[in-house]
Amino acid sequence: MKLALIGGKIVTPFRVINNGAIVIENNKIWELGRVTDVEITDDCEVIDVSGKTITPGFVDLLVHGGGGFAFADGKDESVAGVSQYLIEHGSTTALASLYAKPKDQLLSDVRRLAKFIKNNPDSNLVGIHMEGPYLNKALKGCMNEDYLWKPTVESWDEMWEASEGLIKLMTIAPELPGSIAVMRKAASQGVVLSIGHSMANYEEVLLAIDNGAAHVTHMFNAMEPFHHRKPGIILAALMNKELKIELIADTLHVHPAVMEFLLKVKGASSIVLITDSIRVGGMHEGEFEFADQKVFMKDEKAILADGTLAGSTLTLNKAVRNMVRTANASITDAVRMASLNGAKVINAKKGILAAGKDADLVILDNDFEVEMTIIQGKIKYRRDAK
């Protein structure tokens, strides 16, 4: 059985095709174009999406939880719960993110996630992002300082073995003693290294690039502010094309004017929209927990008791909307930053709509709310059926 989506605005994400049609066969896109140019055969299930926007499925490289669940909860039900929450907000590919914990607990989390991913090959979870544990205590953000590890190749080897090779991305502070050796080993194993929660100066960032760093975690957050005489991560990220930058486009972590500035200076090809969502995403106001610390949720903002931002409640469909409506991004650029760019970071064949590509798609209404999510050609979520 084939599936045909007709009448929608297709964002490829390099072009917009108005009154478009997409034919899906099995798990691939078979044909795509204007309705008048696409053959809709009798064996197609036809869904009219007129007035809607069809985009590639979103790719979230940094997400800890949502919908009341977290990847670090210690049970498969929570992993499945976050996965479903992401699907309902258009994320067809994601890295399950973990934060620093005491060694035995963190290794247990890594093993459990690795087994879940291997046992659920049709899931939207394709790997692990270790946000730590090799982070600088001076810029720990909402991390628990007591749980940060000293960088050693031996402890990295334990994490890598526990992950069964599924750690795809690791946030690390390259200035810490021992970090460069860890980075070199991880890079040799295909892990993408991201600079974050770090006090690194400009020269230390360049050294990190030479030793595998290709990414910057949640730009502007958990790093020193820009200083014209003491340049650090921010200037290095803007100046060096080797580095892609993650952006939490919730308008809280980064002001819309700064989001627009990043787009103009760094360019849409080098920005990856991420959520950094924690379990409070999609939840009511109240008190929750992150890394054994109290988190307070109000007005879609999650903070620790001292006012520090604790992750976010963002979803990628809202990140796209915010880029378009508050940062003057084109719809093509906004969608690209939420899909193709992240897919390229982890070498996933996702994020673009064309014949022969994986049929991972999202249908959005005019307010960027998710109407339908399709993964590998299968409808995984329909808002009208919820």
Active site residues: 276
Which residue type occupies 325?
A: R
Q: Hey, what long-range contacts does 67-75 have (CB within 8 A, 24 or more apart)?
A: 67/279, 67/281, 67/282, 67/283, 68/279, 68/282, 68/283, 69/279, 70/278, 70/279, 70/290, 71/96, 71/97, 71/98, 71/109, 71/113, 72/98, 72/99, 72/101, 72/109, 73/279, 74/108, 74/109, 74/112
Cβ neighbours around 284 below 10 Å, total: 7
Cβ distance 313 to 295 under 8 Å? no
Alpha carbon 47 to chain centroid, angstroms: 29
Tokens of 233: 């991560």
SS3 205: helix
Tokens of 144: 């628990």
Q: How many Å apart are CA 203 and CA 33, to the nearest integer?
A: 48
* Of 9, 24, 11, 8, residue with least CA distance to 352: 11
Q: Estimate the crossing angle of helix 179-188 against helix 153-162, to 10 degrees.
A: 40
CA angle 185, 191, 196 (to 5 degrees): 95
Contacts with 190 (C-beta within 8 Å, 6 or more apart), sequence order = none
SS3 239: helix
Cβ neighbours around 118 below 10 Å, total: 12
Q: How many Å apart are CA 258 and CA 220, to the nearest integer?
A: 10
Q: Count of alpha carbons within 13 Å of 295, Cβ hemisphere only?
A: 28
Q: How many Å apart are CA 299 and CA 328, to the nearest integer?
A: 24
